[in-house]
Amino acid sequence: MKTCTRTLLTLLTYFALITAIHAQKATLPDTIGLISASEKSNYMKVMKPHSSNLLNNYDLKYHRLQWLVDPAQNAIRGSITSYYVPTTSGMSSIQFELAPEMVADSAFHRGFHVGVNHTSNLITISFGEIIPQGHLDSVTVYYHGNPPGSGFGSFGTGLHNGIPALWTLSEPYGCSDWWPSKNDLTDKIDSIDVFVAAPKAYRVASNGLMMGESAYGPNLNLTHWKHRYPIASYLIAIAVTNYSVSTQQFNGPGGNFPIVNYSYPEDSAFNSTQTALLMPVYELYGTLFGNYPYEHEKYGHAEFGWGGGMEHQTMTFIGQGAYNIEILA
């Protein structure tokens, strides 16, 4: 079954790359280069599956993710508050993965400053007390740094029409490149709140429902996204640039939900014509598979600086030039 799944994913990735390349009218050397890079990445994932020394003795329940970013800089600063339940007795510390290039500044547990040990790609936070098994607890980690790139980029910056853009793509094990996380595929977080502060010229796309945008000091805006469905760490994502935002509404078999599109301004008119073509696709999927699983929030697209697409939960990131019905569907 795993082999079949891997083969299917490889074929889908190959198809997405070919479609994106065709849309962008890439030359043959470009095509060969992209296919080669994709196959090398897939091979390395098979040969070197993710392994972690993280002590997996807790069940994540909630993250409050607070970030300060500027698309003109490959950097991030923030704090992650994690609510969890110990699954074993005698828990006196908690561990998260964080790339060694990043800096874990401090941690707080129950309002008290506690020690943080950052060794290689692992941070260990010691409580100085035992947390009872099954007892809901929380900890906050403050950190900063210049994220490295792994997988498909994890944390990327670039330009569109001369304007800075920032995006994340953590699939499959890249979230610890840019935030302290339980970087596995087995422990879904029940609920998240995402707060992103960025320069006022930009807008922020992320998972779930956008709860508000407000001034945050003289030069920044703060955007709050709320997602109330279980989510794996690698599907938590943000994209930031001078987006043009439009909303389309789907009502029919499969549910009733908004489709929120974050496009580069120079591409927004064309992108809207392409996302509108998805209406019969939503209807078909609803007839075949049932209601869209996140209909109480949204479905969305955010344009980003990559060649294909990535299905981040409730907000698919679509590469510039890859807005065509094959990839969107």
The DSSP line for 274-316 is HHHTTHHHHHHHHHHH-S-TTTTT-EEEEEESSSSEE--TT-E
What is the C-alpha separation between 125 and 119, in angstroms, rounded?
A: 11
Integer angstrom CA distances of residue 143 from 68, 98, 102, 107: 11, 10, 7, 9
Same domain, 75 and 194: yes
Give the model's pLDDT for residue 40.
Answer: 61
How many structural domains comprise the chain?
3
Pair (199, 257) in one structural domain: no
Strand, helix or coil at 101?
Answer: coil
Are 27 and 57 in the same domain? no
196 and 82 housed in the same domain: yes
Residues 60, 290: Cα–Cα separation, whole Å: 28
User: Which of the listed residues 201, 216, 240 is the one where a domain comes to its end?
Assistant: 240
| Low-confidence residues in the chain, pLDDT < 50 | 1-27, 43, 45-47
Looking at 209, 240, 271, the residue that finishes a domain is: 240
- Give the predicted TM-score (pTM) of the model: 0.85
* Cβ–Cβ under 8 Å, residues 308 and 20: yes
Last residue of a domain, one of 240, 268, 297: 240
Tell me what pLDDT residue 151 has: 64
In the block, residue with structure tokens 């994502």: 237
Q: Are residues 72 and 158 in the same domain?
A: yes
* Residue 229 · residue 163 · CB < 8 Å: no
SS3 191: strand
DSSP designation for 3: H
According to the model, what pLDDT value does residue 16 have? 43
- CATH number for the domain including 294? 3.30.2010.30
127 and 17 share one domain? no
Whether residue 172 is preceded by a cis peptide bond, meaning omega within 30 degrees of 0, is: yes
pLDDT value of position 113? 97
Residue 109 CA to residue 137 CA, distance in Å, equals 9
Task: Give CA–CA dist 62/193, Å, rounded.
Answer: 8
Q: What is the DSSP letter of 184?
A: S
What is the phi/psi pair of residue 130, to 5°?
Answer: -95, 130
Same domain, 40 and 77: no
> Are 258 and 165 contained in the same domain?
no
Residue 234, domain extent: 53-240
Query: How is 29-98 classified by DSSP, letter by letter?
Result: HHHHHHHHHHHHHHHHHHHS---------EEEEEEEEEEE--TTSS-EEEEEEEEEEESSTTEEEEEEE-
**Are 12 and 102 within one domain?**
no
The answer to whether 321 and 22 have CB atoms below 8 angstroms apart is: no
Query: Using CA atoms, how far apart are residues 240 and 160, in angstroms rounded to an integer?
Result: 12
The domain spanning residue 225 has which CATH number? 2.60.40.1730
- Domain shared by 67 and 29, yes or no: no
DSSP three-state, residue 273: helix
The per-residue pLDDT for 59 is: 98
Give φ, ψ of 136 to 5 degrees. -70, 130
Torsion of CA 285, 287, 288, 291, to 10 degrees: 70
* Same domain as 27, residue 126: no
Are 309 and 179 within one domain?
Answer: no
